[in-house]
């Protein structure tokens, strides 16, 4: 008898891609039903805003719709579908959830354990996408790509960008500081090495890869990295230690012409302090991809500064992220069906 599987995707994590990868990995052992939610065309929700969903964040869909769709399925493959304690109790046949994201923040993990449901995730699904985006962000700022584009769109030919005191700098003559040496930070380092820049890394919980050491990458304390870097790029997780790590004190250590890049998480920065530093010329510029509040308010002061580039949390959005996450989920389902241990249990 074929195992019933429910797939709840959206316009990013496409249910048809999940289904194709599941069939490749598992053959004809599955009876699959699919549902496509309307994210990102409609915004996600957070557990604090809905009764019964406390503790969940960044989810899409209602409890009733999800429970009705999953029904008697043993396996759920999803990107954003919520799963609260009450929902687990209404789905006694559910035995496994594959979440196609780095962290299962849309799942009540204690309730999953209490109900004997295995939850797996897809760590590193977008690591390459974010690393490549980070390099693009750095180049867009250091080589004045954004500045030149905005001027032309406004009808101004910025010939002065050829002035030596105005024009951009090459990475080969710069020092780049990478904060966080995990899945994304290590990839950023590898990409930066091709440009010939000096690379500093700070992360109190790691040792550098021998290949990076041989290439001249240096492991230093945070203070030294901030003082010596022309570009500082953030890649740590948000923890009690890292929350607000970029603040008035740490910004004060940076060079007056330095660039701050955040493609990690908004809570790493005190954005009020960053506004002051940018407005008063304490640092040269910033490229911000993630924010503490999303979407950002229309009247947010940082939107008004000329030395800031902002993008709407899209660094991890790539076609390969979709297919890679689906491949990871499919392999986890295959293992579950064969009685093999999960690769990425939460």
Residues with a catalytic annotation lie at 265, 294, 313
For residue 178, what are the β-bridge partners?
201, 233
Determine the Cα–Cα distance for residues 202 and 191; give it in Å rounded to an integer: 17
Is 25 in contact with 32 (CB distance < 8 Å)?
no
For 285, the token pair is 């510029």
Cα torsion at 267, 218, 134, 249 (round to 10°)?
30
Cα–Cα distance, 284 to 254 (Å, whole number): 9
| Total residue length of the chain | 346
- Beta-sheet pairing, 75-78 with 308-310: unpaired
User: Cβ(186)–Cβ(243) under 8 Å?
Assistant: no
Strand blocks (E) in 107-235? 118-120, 175-179, 198-202, 218-219, 231-234
């Amino acid at each position: 008898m074929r195992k019933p599987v429910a797939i709840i995707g959206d316009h990013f994590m496409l249910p048809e891609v999940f289904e194709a990868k599941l069939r490749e990995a598992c053959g004809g052992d599955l009876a699959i039903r699919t549902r496509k939610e309307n994210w990102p065309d409609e915004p996600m929700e957070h557990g604090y805003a809905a009764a019964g969903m406390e503790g969940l964040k960044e989810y899409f869909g209602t409890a009733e719709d999800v429970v009705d769709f999953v029904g008697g399925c043993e396996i759920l493959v999803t990107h954003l579908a919520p799963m609260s304690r009450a929902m687990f109790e209404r789905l006694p046949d559910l035995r496994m959830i594959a979440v196609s994201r780095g962290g299962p923040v849309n799942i009540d993990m204690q309730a999953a354990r209490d109900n004997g449901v295995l939850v797996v995730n897809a760590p590193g699904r977008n690591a390459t996408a974010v690393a490549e985006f980070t390099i693009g962000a750095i180049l867009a700022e250091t080589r004045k790509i954004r500045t030149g584009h905005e001027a032309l769109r406004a009808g101004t030919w910025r010939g002065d960008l050829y002035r030596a005191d105005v024009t951009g700098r090459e990475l080969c003559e710069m020092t780049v500081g990478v904060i966080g040496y995990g899945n994304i930070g290590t990839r950023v380092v590898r990409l930066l090495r091709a440009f010939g820049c000096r690379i500093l890394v700070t992360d109190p919980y790691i040792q550098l890869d021998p290949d990076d050491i041989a290439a001249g990458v240096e492991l230093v304390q945070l203070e030294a990295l901030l003082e010596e870097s022309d570009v500082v790029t953030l890649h740590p997780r948000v923890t009690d230690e890292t929350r607000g790590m970029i603040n008035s004190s740490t910004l004060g250590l940076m060079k007056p012409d330095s660039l701050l890049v955040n493609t990690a998480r908004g809570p790493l920065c005190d954005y009020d302090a960053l506004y002051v530093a940018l407005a008063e010329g304490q640092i040269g510029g910033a490229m911000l991809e993630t924010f503490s509040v999303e979407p950002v308010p229309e009247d947010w002061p940082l939107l008004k500064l000329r030395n800031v580039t902002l993008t709407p949390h899209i660094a991890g959005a790539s076609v390969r992220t979709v297919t890679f996450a689906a491949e990871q989920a499919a392999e986890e389902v295959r293992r579950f069906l064969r009685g093999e241990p999960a690769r990425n249990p939460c």
